[in-house]
Chain A
Amino acid sequence: MNELRRVLVANRGEIALRIIRACHTAGIEAVSVYSTADENAHWVRLADEARHIGASPAHKSYLNVDAVLEAAVDTGADAVHPGYGFLSENEAFARAVKERGLIFVGPSAEVIAAMGNKSHARRTAVEAGVPVAPGTGPLTDVDAALREAEEIGYPVLIKASAGGGGRGIRPVFSPDELAEVFPGAGAEAAAAFGDGTLYLERAVEGARHIEVQVLADTHGNAVHLFERDCSVQRRRQKLVEEAPAPGLSDALRSEVADAAVRLARHVGYVGAGTVEFLVGPDEAVYFMEMNTRIQVEHPITECVTGVDMVAEQLRIAAGAPLSFAQSDVVLNGAAVELRINAEDPERDFAPTPGTLDAFTVPGGPGVRVDTGFVTGDTISPFYDSLLAKLICWGADRSQALARARQALEEWEIAGVSSTKALHRYLLDDERFRAGAVDTRWLEHRLCEGPWTAPQG
């Protein structure tokens, strides 16, 4: 056991605040790091100490390994929590933290690397007895790709080994298209991820995105916290998440949960992680990838299980066992998360940096808002567009959705455009209300239009 006294939060915005809260609740001090743009941020003020680590662009601050490490050592932190994004899945960072004698809140650098390479992760899943979609190992030339694609059957996805999170994926529908796209996809992957290795996977039509939350400690305990449905996506970026997945049978729920725990055990996983699956209309389950960090949508799992996941991350990092057993985890009610992004849905989701002139956060039973911002803040162009997450819990799905609808009504956001109006519409959409939409549904629905929120 290494009792944590001081944790450096290597992130910004709502997740930085979430981690600061968890630290303080556990009697641990929190240190913020911030870029020039975030100098006066709400979450920075709430930390016990704060260090400026560089200019506003992320590569000069939040992605600067040396600056973050120096701040950690300098402020006497004994652990670093990376949050999500930025350096959270950077194996070199995890290794460097450890080499400085600090604790990295997350799995080992080796596990991050093994799961970070998506082609390697696929092979590992197979070894762990977790099903994958028909596909290939790493490919370098187009002739091999064409031969393999014949076996797999079209449409196939060209995926970058070093991609993930929905990036570096190109669907192709014919051999001609594959031959045309493959070389460019390799060059793109090399430029974007520093590795041009590609592999192919059969596209699963009509699939839902179902992911399982796992937690594992250093004492050999690995549990799941059930699943989330993140099928409401645009360009492979999630907009709405739900727990549990609407309409999923108990048998299928157990199947994905068991597979996720099996994979976590197989790789010697430690910390919070998410195993993502595609579930076909025939209920076939296929492993997609594993994210080795806390996830944006973790609060809905907290709502339906009562587990404070960031608190557990800190316990695990300190070498303590999980505070509960698998048999203690019971699903209670339903929760939905709506991502309120500073994007204009009426202008093809163009980002809208600006000043938050009004930001009246809603409340009431079962309503939770995670945000790093307050009225008057500048939403800078340098980082992602997430303004806030609206998380609503209900005794059942319809109550959770009704609370979300009321919360949106109360929420005034002015100064920047946001996805709030789109969510208002989605909550009234018959197909969404019926549940179990697939990952292409939102894009099709946006094309159909008009989606402008109903009056009143």
Chain B
Amino acid sequence: MTTIKTAMPGVIYRRPSPEEEPFVREGETIEEGQTIALVEVMKNFNEVKADQSGRLTRFLVEDGDEVAISQDIAELED
């Protein structure tokens, strides 16, 4: 099992905007390079991309949570 980490500290969002569906749900398979969340840093939104393909088994953060740099945000089953 591996994890996806943040590259920037800030506030994490699992959907592109409040009304939209999440980028990815737990249990779904994702491709390398796919956006799985946004991190808001000083009012800028930065995409969090998967660095490898696999099944995303679990998110470790909630929508709107604070995240630190290099924090694990999701678990991936390769």
Contact = CB atoms under 8 A, between A and B. Distances in A.
A55 interface: yes
Interface residues of A, number: 20
B66 A57 contact: yes
Contact of B42 (A191, A192, A384): A384
Interface in A64-80: none
Q: Which of B18, B20, B41 has the most CB of A within 10 A?
A: B41
Contact of A57 (B11, B17, B18): B11
Nearest to B12: A57
Interface string A350-365: 1101000000000000
B17 to A, nearest CB: 4
Give the interface SS of chain A, mostly helix, strand, loop or mixed.
loop
Nearest to A350: B44
Given A57-B11, A190-B19, A191-B17, A384 B66 contact: no
A385 interface: yes
B43 A384 contact: yes
A162 B9 CA distance: 29
Contact of A56 (B17, B19, B41, B66): B66
B41 A353 contact: yes
B27 interface: no
B64 A383 contact: no
A266 interface: no
Interface in A30-88: 55-57, 59-60
Given A55-B66, A351-B42, A382 B19 contact: no
B8 interface: yes
A342 interface: yes
A381 interface: yes
A398 to B, nearest CB: 34
Interface string A122-162: 00000000000000000000000000000000000000000
Contacts of A59: 64
Given A353-B9, A381-B9, A382-B11, A342 B42 contact: yes
A336 to B, nearest CB: 24
B41 A57 contact: no
Interface string B22-54: 000000000000000000111110000000000
Contacts of A385: 42-43
Given A57-B66, A382-B66, A353 B11 contact: no
Contacts of A190: 19
Given A57-B66, A191-B19, A351 B9 contact: no
Contacts of B9: 353, 380-381
A343 B19 CA distance: 30
Interface string A103-129: 000000000000000000000000000
A55 B17 CA distance: 21
Interface string A371-386: 0000000001111110
Contacts of A351: 8, 41-44
20 contacts: A55-B66, A56-B66, A59-B64, A191-B18, A191-B19, A192-B17, A342-B42, A351-B41, A351-B44, A353-B8, A353-B10, A353-B41, A381-B8, A381-B9, A381-B11, A381-B41, A382-B42, A383-B43, A384-B42, A385-B43
Given A351-B41, A353-B8, 12 more contacts: A55-B66, A190-B19, A191-B18, A343-B42, A350-B44, A351-B8, A351-B44, A353-B41, A381-B8, A381-B9, A381-B11, A382-B10
